[in-house]
Chain A
C-alpha cells in the first residue's frame, strides 16, 4: 500500500464513528474604533515603522524626500515617477542586494493590526524586490484600509502569493528583547495617501 493510501486509511479508521458535524460559532468582530485611516496610521507606527500622511498630489514629492540619495528599485506598474529608480525586470537576488530601497503600492491595509498586505500585482512587483533592499517605502491609499483581519481575508485572492507586513522585520529571540531589523527591510516607511 502506498504511503498516501496507508495514511488515508489510518485517518479513516481513527475517525470511525466520530461525527464530522461541528457547530462553528461566527468569529467576533472588533468594535468600531472610529476613523480607519487614523487607527491604521497609529498602529503601523506602534511597530516603529515610519508613517507619513499626505494628499494624492504630494506623493511624488514625499517619496523623493524619503528616498534621498538611496538607490531604489520599483515594480513595473508602480504608476509613479521615481527619478533614478531601476524598474525591476527580473533582477537577481545579488543585484537587489546592491540596492538600498524599494517603492511599492499595497493591496490592502488592516487598521486593527497595523498591517499592510501585498498581493504582488504589477504595482507591487515580485516578492523578492520588497524583501532584499533595506528600506521599503509602501504607498497605501486610505481607501484601501479595512477594519480587521476578516475584511482583508475576504478581499484577498489566495491564488496569488501574499505577504502580510506588520512593521519592519524584528526578533525577540535574545532574552525576548524586541529588536527591529533582522533579514527583511530594517526600515518600513508607509506613505498613507488621503
Chain B
C-alpha cells in the first residue's frame, strides 16, 4: 500500500531535502516543460480563451454561491435516477460508508478510478485496515501504489519517477499483488503501459465493486462525470456490479449546459489536449447497462470551512487540472512531496490551509511556499486568484499567532517598527541609528549589490532567517527627513 503524508515536516525542511535530489529535479524539469509547451499550444488555438475562462469561473461560482440548494437538487435527482446518496462530514465518515457498502457485498477488494477525493480522505489505508484491498488502476497511481510511494502531482502522481525507475518497480512488485510483469520488460513507455494493461485486466474482469470520484456532478440531472485517458475509468464505471463515487460537495454544477465551458477548459489546461480520450457520464442506474447498484457519497471534509472564507472561497472552483503546478517555479524545483499533501503546488498551498486551518506548523508553512509571481493565476482555467489567497492565508497564519505567549521575531520587529513610526522624535532617533548602521556596513562589508551599493551578508541571531538567503542593502547614511532639514528641501 502507498505511504502516507502524516508527520511530514514543514515546507522549508522538506523542500531543502527535495532540492538535493538531482534525479528528481531532472525528472521534474523535463516533465513540466513538456506539459507546459503542450498546454500553451492548444490554448493558443482557442481564440476566445479569456472569455471561456470567465464563463468557466462563472458557472462554478453560481454553483458555490447557492450550494445548499444545488446539493438538495442533486440529491433529489440522483435518488430519482436510482442512486443511493450518502453524506459524509469528514474523511472518517466517508471511508466508513465505502467500507460498509463493500462489506455488504462480501468482497475483499475494490478497483479504483484515480480520484483526488479518495486520496485526500486516505481511503486505501482505511479499507486496508478493514481487510479490503483497493487496487489503483490509473497507470501513475499504480506506479505510486506498487512503489509504496506518495503522489507528487494532481494529474500525474508519479511525475517524479522516470522510465527506468518504473520498470524496476513493476518487475519487483507486480508479482506480489497479481499477474507479474514479463521478465523481458524494457523501459519503453509503450511496453510498460502494456504490462500495466495485462496486470490490471484480470482485476477489472473479476471486480464486483468499484470506487470512483467525479470531476463534475450536475444538480438538475443527477449526472456524474469522469474525465480520463486510459480507459481504466470506463472499466471501473462499467464492468463491476456496484459503483461507489466519493464526490466533494464543491463538484456540483447547476445545469447540464454548465458542463460546456468546463469540458472545453479542462483537457486543454490539464493534459494539453483538445479533448481527453474518454469522458464518461452517468445518471444513477441504467437498467441492463453498467453497475446496477450506484452509491454517491457527498463529502464535506473542510469544504464548508473554505466556503465560509470570503477571499478563499474561490479555491473551491478548482477543477483539479494541475496547470498551476506545471507553471510554478517553486513546484518545478521541489516537486510535490514537499507540500506534504495530495494537493501540492500553488493550489495545494491555498487549499490545504483553507480546508484544515493553519493551526499545525506544516499547513501554516504552505502559504509561504510561493514567490507570488502570479503564473498560477494566469493559467488557471477557472480564474482562481491564487496569489491573493496566498497573501490572505499568510495573514491568517499571523493572526493564528497573535495570542502566543512567546511572540515570533517577525511580530516583535513589527511591534518595534509601529512604536518607532508613531512618534516623530522616536523616528528621528531610529533614523540616526540606521544611518550609523549604514556607515558601518559601508565601511566594513565585503558584500555589494549590483550597482555597487554595499549590503550586509549573513547576520547572526534572529536576523539570520531573513539574511540567510537575501542580501540586506546598507541603509542610507542620511534619511530623507534629515536631508530636508539640512538643505531646506534642496533650496540650500
Show the binding face of A for B, using Cβ within 8 Å: 2-4, 6-8, 10-15, 18-28, 30-31, 43, 46-47, 90, 93-94, 97, 110, 112-115, 120, 126-128, 131-132, 148-150, 153-154, 158-177, 179, 181-185
Distance of A10 from chain B, by nearest CB (Å)? 4
CB–CB A159/B81 < 8 A: yes
Show the binding face of B for A, using Cβ within 8 Å: 27, 30-31, 34-35, 46-48, 51-52, 54-56, 58-59, 61-62, 65-68, 71-72, 75, 81, 86-89, 93, 137-140, 143, 156, 158-159, 162-163, 166, 189-190, 192-194, 196-197, 200-201, 204-205, 218, 221, 223, 229-232, 234-235, 237-239, 249, 256-257, 259-261, 263-264, 271, 273-283, 286, 288-290, 298, 300, 304-305, 307-308, 310
CB–CB A10/B52 < 8 A: no
CB–CB A127/B234 < 8 A: yes
A-side contacts of B278, CB under 8 Å: 163-166, 169, 184
CB–CB B277/A167 < 8 A: yes
Question: With contacts A24-B62, A158-B221, A183-B200 known, is A7 near B89, CB below 8 A?
Answer: yes
Distance of A13 from chain B, by nearest CB (Å)? 7
Q: In the assembly, what is the distance between CA of A173 and CA of B193, in Å?
A: 9
CB–CB A22/B189 < 8 A: no
Distance of B203 from chain A, by nearest CB (Å)? 11
Main secondary structure of the interface of B (DSSP, over half): helix
The listed residue (B86, B281, B310) touching A162 by CB distance below 8 A is B281
CB–CB A176/B277 < 8 A: no
Distance of B159 from chain A, by nearest CB (Å)? 8
Distance of A51 from chain B, by nearest CB (Å)? 15
B-side contacts of A112, CB under 8 Å: 274
CB–CB A113/B275 < 8 A: yes
Distance of B93 from chain A, by nearest CB (Å)? 6
- B281 and chain A: residue at smallest CB distance: A162
Question: With contacts A153-B260, A161-B282, A161-B286 known, is A30 near B307, CB below 8 A?
Answer: no
Give the most central of B192, B193, B201: most A CB within 10 Å.
B193
B-side contacts of A167, CB under 8 Å: 277
CB–CB B55/A174 < 8 A: no
B-side contacts of A179, CB under 8 Å: 189-190, 193
Q: A25-B58, A28-B48 are in contact. List 4 more A-B contacts (CB 8 A).
A: A161-B290, A166-B274, A166-B275, A175-B163
CB–CB A24/B59 < 8 A: yes
B-side contacts of A114, CB under 8 Å: 274-275
B-side contacts of A171, CB under 8 Å: 139, 193, 229-230
20 A-B residue pairings within 8 Å (CB atoms) = A3-B89, A7-B87, A7-B89, A7-B300, A8-B68, A11-B304, A13-B308, A15-B67, A20-B62, A114-B274, A127-B237, A131-B234, A154-B257, A161-B282, A166-B273, A170-B277, A171-B230, A173-B158, A176-B159, A182-B197
Question: With contacts A171-B139, A176-B31 known, is A184 near B283, CB below 8 A?
Answer: no
B-side contacts of A19, CB under 8 Å: 65
Question: With contacts A12-B68, A28-B52, A161-B290 known, is A175 near B280, CB below 8 A?
Answer: no
